[in-house]
Amino acid sequence: MSLSAQDFLTDFHHTATIGATANGGVDRQAGTAKDGEIRSWFRDWGTERGYPVRVDSIGNMFMLAEWTPGVPFVLVGSHLDSQPLAGRFDGAYGVVAAMHVLREIDAEVQASGEKPSYNLGVVNWFNEEGARFAPSIMGSSVFVGLMNEQDTLSVSDSSGTRVGEALEGIGFLGTDPRPEVATYAEIHIEQGRILEREGIPLGTVDRSWYTQKLDIEVLGEQSHTGATSMADRRDALVAASKIVVMVNEVTEDFEEDTLLSSVGQMHIEPNSPIVVPRRVHLVADLRSDSQEIVQAARATLLEKFDVLAADHRVEVNVEDFDVRPPRHFQESGLELVEKLMADKGLDTRRIRTRAGHDAVALSTQVPSVLLFVPSVDGVSHCEREFTEDEDLVTGLDALTEVARALVDGALQD
Amino acid sequence: MSLSAQDFLTDFHHTATIGATANGGVDRQAGTAKDGEIRSWFRDWGTERGYPVRVDSIGNMFMLAEWTPGVPFVLVGSHLDSQPLAGRFDGAYGVVAAMHVLREIDAEVQASGEKPSYNLGVVNWFNEEGARFAPSIMGSSVFVGLMNEQDTLSVSDSSGTRVGEALEGIGFLGTDPRPEVATYAEIHIEQGRILEREGIPLGTVDRSWYTQKLDIEVLGEQSHTGATSMADRRDALVAASKIVVMVNEVTEDFEEDTLLSSVGQMHIEPNSPIVVPRRVHLVADLRSDSQEIVQAARATLLEKFDVLAADHRVEVNVEDFDVRPPRHFQESGLELVEKLMADKGLDTRRIRTRAGHDAVALSTQVPSVLLFVPSVDGVSHCEREFTEDEDLVTGLDALTEVARALVDGALQD
């Protein structure tokens, strides 16, 4: 293994020590102290090596090699925030790989004295995960104009702290200008089993799934668990529990794995062992490659919720939330990756992503490339998420090739 | 209405301003700042009127009229802590009524110069509600030896704060000796509809229901809601939701209202909209007048949980918790109340309590009386809990009569 690959692995494994959890994962939710700590590490890494780091007004960080002043940047990166009790690879891999791409290409530029057509920057997008502050993919969505910055800064976490306050609290509510972006590249673990099963080291993402959430509020009446007759109850938690089961079972109306659903978050009021709950707030997640399937499932659920509300004498309020149409990555980017990898003799395959990524947001504005490396058992958003060092390094080399082509003007003609 | 009744109502309605909620309720969970505030009010009320207030090492407060040093006390009282988003009457009514009983009887003693056989004290028991710190009925259970004091001081709330720390934090972890108790009386709202339906102003409690809780942990595996195939999931929340429904539906195996059940509390990990939950902790509550019914329901549920665990590839760990056998109040106390009220021409009826009360704990050690007044619609543990002023005053008068008899030695021969 090359020295530069070893350096990359050293830096990557170092990130896992920031917010490390008991079982080998990390917990660095956006805007928390641990997010602040890894951001400081990212900034110091850049400035120590002579790359200025800008922070914009939604907390995105840009580490820049501005070889030619005034020329737009190829941005490469991902996110350093994580889910609670998350794996070490999701996001961090893409950022640390991008840092080493920058170092490698900058060394080549310094050695040759020849300036590429575009400048190069590494980006750490704010709050890709959407765990503490919903929805996800915040920083990159504000960057490309899919989300309004002021509204986003006002989003509150469950304890009432706003995005703006949290960023200010960790010292990362910046005022720097955003770099002008020419093209974008990102590498990520697959979060699925396709590459592992097929033994292919690199995937190139052609499109994302249609996804949407339902923000659901169930309103019952608070009462004493011991003193209230069963017939007199308006139990918000019993009704909400049936909703969780309905959201799970609606997938059975469709072919296997054409629809994915879940309820991951639920808040119960007042949440005391001796009180029948008055209110439950929950978020359901529906995803499919087909918009029609998500919409059919949504319609089925809304009908069932109406019947449930009447049966249980509760109110069920539902709002569509975080609706994301499928996005196609540019064909030119897919072909570029395929050509470059064929030249290296590396197998690739086109792949769809069910999960959201910053690259999906970027692709709405500039030509963008999203690469996947294999992930053991396809598990993610959990502490046992794992990718082999060898696969990480193969991905780093691929990303370096792509970035080299991009700074030389590929996808710009 | 008498001046003393008006004073009582003024004091009672004042307690509702401490920890007042938006919709006319209160929130004074045990050991919180608001609990500290009402405790200070209670202490000041006593000391200003010449009644010393002792605080013991589990936070129980005793406001004492010690007419004859060394003689045991008749204790009268209830609790000033509340559920979250609770009603104004539960607990506070019994304490404020007891304070005015003390004032009334002490005035009589001072006027007549004749000392009764027993001294008289008002008690505010620590943490009757068990909302922040489980289980409920803590202070009185430690007082009578049903719970171990050191274990109880070490109980943690959901954020890891212990009972002892919380009491110390609000300045109510005392060191005063506990008064010796001769007999106990308490008045409370019914938390049911029987008195209201039958138009009877006073109930006298003859026994409590058999109650128990199940502490249930569901262990699945955390994963990505978008990237994980439905068949690969081990979703702790889907399984927990089915448990909530099972706990609710098990009541249908028995005659209406012979079994009450509920799940009031549930904690989900990691509780993020984009993560399949790894762990859910929930508390189920089972209550019946019949021990056999609770045990049959428990057996049915445990069997169903086993099938569920296998079906969903999750682990379900269940522990019995807070098991309380039915307790009979002393027949002599019931007959005393019936005789006193008959003399006043006031209708009473014997009544069972499904809810736990401090008086139930006290009845295991000394002759005890528990009185109920009507509660509109029978609702409690919610902000719309309500009892008419007139019914509160009728109850106060009844409690005064009972306390007068107790300090004169009734139930002691």
Model pLDDT for residues B277-312, shown as the tens digit of each residue = 999 999 999 999 999 999 999 999 999 999 999 999
Which of B220, B188, B226 lies closest to B354, judged by CA?
B188
Structure tokens belonging to residue B407 = 């300090």
Question: What mean pLDDT is predicted for residues A51-77?
Answer: 98
Structure tokens belonging to residue B205 = 């409690």
Q: Write out the residue limits of the CATH 3.30.70.360 domain(s) in chain B.
A: 210-324
Query: Using the beta-carbon criterion (under 8 Å), do A227 and B130 form an inter-chain contact?
Result: no
Task: Convert A5-43 to b/e letters by CB count within 10 Å (16 or more is b).
Answer: beebbebbeebbebbbbeeebbbbbbbbebbbbbbebbb
pLDDT in tens, B355-398: 899 999 999 999 999 999 999 998 889 999 999 999 999 999 99
Q: Are A285 and A292 in contact (CB under 8 A)?
A: no
Query: Using the beta-carbon criterion (under 8 Å), do A225 and B276 form an inter-chain contact?
Result: no
- What is the CATH topology of the domain spanning B3-209+326-407? Aminopeptidase (3.40.630)
Q: Which residue has the tokens 């770099």?
A: A179
**Given pLDDT bands bounded at 50, 70 and 90, which one contains residue A158?**
confident
Predicted confidence (pLDDT) at residue A387 exceeds the cutoff of 70 = yes
Query: Using the beta-carbon criterion (under 8 Å), do A230 and B224 form an inter-chain contact?
Result: no
pLDDT in tens, A283-335: 999 999 999 999 999 999 999 999 999 999 999 999 999 999 999 999 999 99
Question: What mean pLDDT is predicted for residues A249-257?
Answer: 96
Which of A166, A163, A160, A170 lies closest to A148, judged by CA?
A163
Mean pLDDT across chain B, nearest whole number? 96
Residue numbers in B near A191 (CB within 8 A): 224, 226-227
Q: Write out the residue limits of the CATH 3.40.630.10 domain(s) in chain B.
A: 3-209+326-407
Query: Using the beta-carbon criterion (under 8 Å), do A381 and B232 form an inter-chain contact?
Result: no
CATH class of A210-324: alpha beta
**Given pLDDT bands bounded at 50, 70 and 90, which one contains residue B225?**
confident
Predicted confidence (pLDDT) at residue B88 exceeds the cutoff of 90 = yes
Predicted confidence (pLDDT) at residue A140 exceeds the cutoff of 90 = yes
Please give the interface size between A and B, counted as residue pairs whose CB atoms are below 8 Å apart. 244
pLDDT in tens, B357-368: 999 999 999 999
Amino acid identity at A169: G
**Given pLDDT bands bounded at 50, 70 and 90, which one contains residue B404?**
very high
CATH architecture of A3-209+327-407: 3-Layer(aba) Sandwich (3.40)
Separation between Cα atoms, residue B185 and residue B205, nearest integer Å: 11
**Residue B30's pLDDT is what?**
98
Q: Give this prediction's pTM.
A: 0.87
Closest by Cβ to B354, choosing from A226, A278, A355: A226
Residue numbers in B near A242 (CB within 8 A): 241, 245
Structure tokens belonging to residue A57 = 């007004």
Q: For B179, phi and psi rounded to 5 degrees?
A: -65, 145
Query: Using the beta-carbon criterion (under 8 Å), do A380 and B227 form an inter-chain contact?
Result: yes
Antiparallel, parallel or unpaired: β B181-189 and B368-373: parallel
- CA-nearest residue to A274 within chain B is B264
Separation between Cα atoms, residue A388 and residue A376, nearest integer Å: 8
Q: Which residues contact B339 (CB under 8 A, 6 or more apart)?
A: none
Q: Write out the residue limits of the CATH 3.40.630.10 domain(s) in chain A.
A: 3-209+327-407
**Residue A116's pLDDT is what?**
97
**Given pLDDT bands bounded at 50, 70 and 90, which one contains residue B413?**
low
Predicted confidence (pLDDT) at residue A377 exceeds the cutoff of 70 = yes
Q: Which residue has the tokens 């009447």?
A: A310
**Residue B316's pLDDT is what?**
98
Q: Are B338 and B204 in contact (CB under 8 A)?
A: yes
Closest by Cβ to B222, choosing from A85, A227, A266: A85
Mean pLDDT across chain A, nearest whole number? 96
- ipTM of model over 0.85: yes
Separation between Cα atoms, residue B240 and residue B214, nearest integer Å: 13
Predicted confidence (pLDDT) at residue A268 exceeds the cutoff of 90 = yes
Closest by Cβ to A277, choosing from B229, B241, B264: B264
Q: In chain B, what percentage of residues exceed pLDDT 90?
A: 93
- The burial class, CB within 10 Å (0-12 / 13-18 / 19+), for A364 is middle
pLDDT in tens, A37-51: 999 999 999 999 999
- The burial class, CB within 10 Å (0-12 / 13-18 / 19+), for B165 is middle
Query: Using the beta-carbon criterion (under 8 Å), do B131 and A275 form an inter-chain contact?
Result: yes
Residue numbers in B near A190 (CB within 8 A): 227
Angle A83-A89-A94 from CA coordinates, rounded to 5°: 105
Question: What mean pLDDT is predicted for residues B240-245?
Answer: 98
Question: What mean pLDDT is predicted for residues A97-123?
Answer: 97
**Residue A1's pLDDT is what?**
80
Q: Which residues contact B243 (CB under 8 A, 6 or more apart)?
A: B216, B218, B263, B282, B284, B305, B308, B316
- The burial class, CB within 10 Å (0-12 / 13-18 / 19+), for B144 is middle
Measured between CA atoms, how close is A332 to chain B, in angstroms? Answer: 26
Question: What mean pLDDT is predicted for residues A268-277?
Answer: 93
